[in-house]
Amino acid sequence: MSPNVSNVDWQDIRVAAEITDIQEHVNAIRDNAIEYAVSRLPAASRDEDLVALSQRQDFLSHLKCGLAKGVGNLLMKNDEQIKNVYLYEPDTNPEFDLGVVQPLDANVHLLLLVRKSSAALEALIIALDRALTQSLKESEFPVYAKYPSVLDVVPITDEDVRMRRGFATLLTSIFTPPIRVC
């Protein structure tokens, strides 16, 4: 029995052909994010080892921003349905000035504004998450050792934004708006 060519999802094939070695791309994203995060620290802190740096909220915030930028760029390069990529923090509290120390959350939370979602996009997100999780576990970040997954990606559409559904409401939040990274 020969395969039915009309049932082939050519989008899946294009994505697979463009990302031939996803681990190599993700390792570069990780390394660039580390370099970015270190460069954003005060000069006196830049010589600390990665184990110590990974326990600092400021370093982790910059690292997540760098990871978001790299992952966002890779996703947009491989799926033309993505319009914008946003980084958000689900636990951000506008009353943070109360002095309560929040636990470190090393997950990278992204909103993807898409024309339409697809199985190819979902597959790409899953592959990126697996590769990035593995890459961070292999690096010197003990904070990532306990994470089975580091990417939290939520696709939203213009219709979701217009109807103010679910995570799309974050785009119009006045207290904790997401940061556009791509």
Q: Give 3-58 pLDDT, tens digit per residue.
A: 333 343 434 444 444 455 899 999 999 999 999 999 999 998 888 888 888 888 89
Distance, CA of 68 to CA of 63 (rounded, Å): 8
The reply to whether 86 falls in a domain is: yes
How many structural domains are present in the chain?
Answer: 1
The reply to whether 99 falls in a domain is: no
Helix (H) or strand (E) segment spanning residue 92? none
User: Residue 41 has which token pair?
Assistant: 């620290």
| Tally of CB atoms within 10 A around 10 | 9
- Domain span at 169: 19-92+105-180
Beta bridge partners of 151: 108
The reply to whether 165 falls in a domain is: yes
Sign of CA dihedral 115, 120, 124, 126: positive
User: Residue 63 has which token pair?
Assistant: 């690292």
